[in-house]
């Protein structure tokens, strides 16, 4: 039924009702910001996830040319600088934010313990570090330090040969039995059976070992997706990333 205003000034003017946004819908349009993050099925979220994987792969490639020992020292320095820049919250407050023990945080900030990447991400968020700094800089340093640590453990526990294309086993084509990942750029590019881990960006050649490594480093997280991809497409992408890491133009050669 059409209704009209009763005010003297508005007599005869049609009155239209405009429904208000539903209270139960956190994404309803209105003057308030969204109270919850956007659902993962939004196009922007998908593009952001793809960019994150690319950034991690690029950072991993750059990490291959960094000394692992100095990378670990620099990462610890970055964490402590971020801690100071955010007002130096107590370990109790920081532990409550990241849900790790004060003892663990004390060892990590003191350079006595290698943290998982999940903890590094949580520290970046808790200390208000820009996400691009965490992905592009911290991840590169963490990867170099972790690769160095894995190589040390691999030297102690032994390494397994990865046959190169054609069935030949090259001396440099080794995998770390700790992480299940390729230990050299050549092995990562040439091995047709490997794939990029969407969780950490490493080149995986042994899914079982790599999954077990993730579960030890990040016990609270689900298993990383194991999706071997066609070797030709991945090798091309790895070569392109390697050229970018070396500062070479992809159109050359």
The domains of the chain are located at 49-147, 157-245
d(CA 247, CA 126): 33
Length of the chain: 253
- Note the pLDDT of residue 211: 76
d(CA 36, CA 30): 14
Task: Return the bridge partners of 174, or none.
Answer: 161
Encode the chain in three state secondary structure.
CCCECCCHHHCCCECCCCCCCCCCCCCCCCCCCCCCCCCCCCHHHHHHHHHHHHHHHHHHHHHCCCCHHHHHHHHHHHHHHHHHHCCCCCHHHHHHHHCCCHHHHHHHHCCCCCCCHHHHHHHHHHCCCCHHHHHHHHHHHHHHHHHHHHHHHHHHHCEEEEEECCCEEEEEEEEECCCCEECCHHHHHHCCCCEECCCCCCEECCHHHHHHHHHHHCCCCCCCCCCCCCHHHHHHHHHHHHHHHCCCCCCCC
Task: Return the bridge partners of 75, or none.
Answer: none
- CATH code, residues 49-147: 1.10.260
- Note the pLDDT of residue 124: 94
Say how many C-beta atoms besides its own lie within 10 A of residue 15's C-beta: 11
Put simply, whether the predicted model's pTM sits higher than 0.85 gets the answer no
**CB under 8 Å to 217, separation ≥6 — which residues?**
116, 117, 118
- Note the pLDDT of residue 245: 58
> Mean pLDDT per 10-residue run, the chain (253 residues)?
50 52 44 41 43 56 64 91 94 92 92 88 94 86 78 47 40 51 47 61 71 71 58 54 59 50
């Amino acid at each position: 039924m059409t209704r009209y205003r009763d005010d003297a000034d508005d007599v005869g003017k049609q009155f239209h009702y405009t429904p208000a946004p539903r209270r139960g819908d956190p994404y309803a349009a209105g003057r308030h910001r969204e109270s919850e993050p956007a659902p993962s099925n939004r196009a922007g979220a998908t593009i952001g996830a793809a960019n994150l994987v690319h950034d991690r792969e690029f950072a991993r490639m750059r990490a291959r040319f960094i000394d692992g020992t100095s990378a670990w020292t620099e990462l610890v320095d970055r964490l402590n600088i971020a801690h100071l820049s955010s007002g130096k919250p107590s370990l109790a407050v920081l532990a409550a934010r990241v849900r790790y023990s004060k003892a663990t945080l004390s060892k990590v900030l003191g350079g006595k313990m290698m943290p998982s990447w999940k903890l590094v991400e949580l520290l970046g968020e808790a200390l208000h570090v820009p996400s691009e700094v965490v992905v592009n800089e911290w991840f590169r340093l963490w990867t170099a330090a972790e690769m160095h640590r894995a190589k040390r453990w691999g030297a102690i526990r032994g390494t397994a040969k990865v046959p190169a294309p054609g069935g030949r086993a090259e001396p440099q084509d080794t995998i770390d039995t700790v992480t299940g990942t390729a230990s050299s750029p050549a092995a990562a590019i040439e091995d047709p059976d490997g794939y990029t881990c969407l969780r950490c960006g490493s080149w995986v050649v042994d899914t079982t070992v790599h999954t077990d490594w993730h579960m030890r480093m990040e016990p609270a997280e689900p298993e990383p997706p194991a999706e071997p991809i066609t070797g030709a497409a991945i090798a091309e992408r790895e070569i392109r990333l390697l050229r970018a890491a070396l500062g070479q133009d992809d159109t050359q050669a």
